[in-house]
Amino acid sequence: MRSLSEIETISKRASRAKGFSWGTSEEVGKCIRLLELFSLPGLKNLSQYLKSYDQNNFKQVKLIAKNNNSDGKYHCPISSGVSFLDQIKILDKYNEIEFSKIAYPLLFLPFASRASEILGKRIFINIDEKEFMLNFNQSIFSNYSKNEILENANVVSITFLENTNSFNDSEWTEMTKFENQTFVDESDELKKKSAGAGLTDND
């Protein structure tokens, strides 16, 4: 089994060989490492993307808007991901962002996952009918578990989720009652048992 370090290195070097800058290639390496860590087929999708790169005039994205429409070309997942990560503090104000047509959309996911950590919010992404919950770059939950190449997506929607508790106030109050049982007054007997050598002097 290949190590995550090997996966990151070969992804970085392969991207550089295709003409991406060293900076972008390093970002790609980190992102493919993340996909493989989260059991998503990153290397497989990157390999196919690089094979098709010269034959496709993918749309490069520098400035992301609320709605990112296509002029017939598929958006490049890497330039879209890099721009998304760079602009995440500004993009949060939109609450929801949509792309029409992204090539190899799984390659966009790890950029968004890293953005989730920077923003301090979970990010929910729909890639056509496939759903992905990005949790502060700690995990990706999904209804997609196939080890296959996802070549194109017609619609990718991105939603920034507000941080909320999974419990209500009454459940919090119940836990407080349990917590308060920790702070009981010590009896004289307990104090004697915890006083070290006690009343016996062996010297």
- Amino acid (1-letter code) at residue 68: N
173: which 2 tokens?
A: 């109050």
**Closest C-alpha among 37, 30, 36, 38 to residue 11:** 30
| Per-residue buried b or exposed e for 153-171, using 16+ beta carbons within 10 Å of the residue's own CB | beebebebeeeeeeeeeee
Per-residue pLDDT of the chain (203 residues; tens, 9 = 90+): 999 999 999 999 999 999 999 999 999 999 999 999 999 999 999 999 999 999 999 999 999 999 999 888 999 999 999 999 999 999 999 999 999 999 999 999 999 999 999 999 999 999 999 999 999 999 999 999 889 999 999 999 999 999 999 999 999 999 999 999 887 665 666 566 665 555 555 55
